[in-house]
Amino acid sequence: MTDAKRRPANQLDNLVEAYLSDLVELPDEAVLEARSPQIDETVSFRQILKAAIDEAGKRRLKQARRAVENLPSAETSTVVDPAEARRYLAQAANDSRITLAARDLRDLPDEEVRRLYLQLKQLEQAARDGDKE
């Protein structure tokens, strides 16, 4: 029979014990200094990826700000007759695409009627512009 020290399982156990005892005796500084280049590559890749995501976010934000700046203002200097705006909103309340049914137009102040009127006009214009494209 083979010698007990020569068995492959025992040899492996001896190797693992020797490796672990060397590792336990090794000072912490030596372990920390022996960083793998793969760890550095992983950290570097994560930094590059984070920087790319941040840059893409900044670009999208700038693009959105420019788009908002180019929007026509809802508050124009157009004088709107409150009675005509109320009639227009009453007609719009019957349109299934617009939800004004829960509002009582008679109780709304003129400024709110004007704001709603201008919003609806702006939506109509945007819909027409969208149909042209």
Say yes or no: 115 and 127 in one domain. Answer: yes
Q: Say whether pLDDT at 113 is over 90.
A: no
Say yes or no: 103 and 118 in one domain. Answer: yes
Task: Kindly state whether residue 59 falls inside one of the protein's structural domains.
Answer: yes
What is the predicted pLDDT for the residue at 107?
A: 81
What is the predicted pLDDT for the residue at 102?
A: 57
Q: What's the structural domain count of the chain?
A: 3
Say yes or no: 61 and 88 in one domain. Answer: no
Mean pLDDT of 51-64: 93
Task: Kindly state whether residue 4 falls inside one of the protein's structural domains.
Answer: yes
Say yes or no: 30 and 50 in one domain. Answer: no
Q: Say whether pLDDT at 77 is over 90.
A: no
27-38 pLDDT per residue, tens: 877 777 766 666
Mean pLDDT of 121-130: 82
Say yes or no: 64 and 27 in one domain. Answer: no
Domain limits for position 13? 1-34
3-13 pLDDT per residue, tens: 655 788 888 88
**Token duo for residue 10:** 């025992």
Say yes or no: 28 and 47 in one domain. Answer: no
Say yes or no: 99 and 109 in one domain. Answer: yes
Is residue 88 within 8 Å of residue 120, measured between CB atoms?
Answer: yes
Q: How far is residue 92's CA from residue 31's CA, in Å, rounded to a whole number?
A: 74
Q: Say whether pLDDT at 1 is over 50.
A: no
Mean pLDDT of 48-54: 91
What is the predicted pLDDT for the residue at 121?
A: 87
Say yes or no: 91 and 66 in one domain. Answer: no
Say yes or no: 96 and 107 in one domain. Answer: yes
What is the predicted pLDDT for the residue at 54?
A: 93
Task: Kindly state whether residue 76 falls inside one of the protein's structural domains.
Answer: no
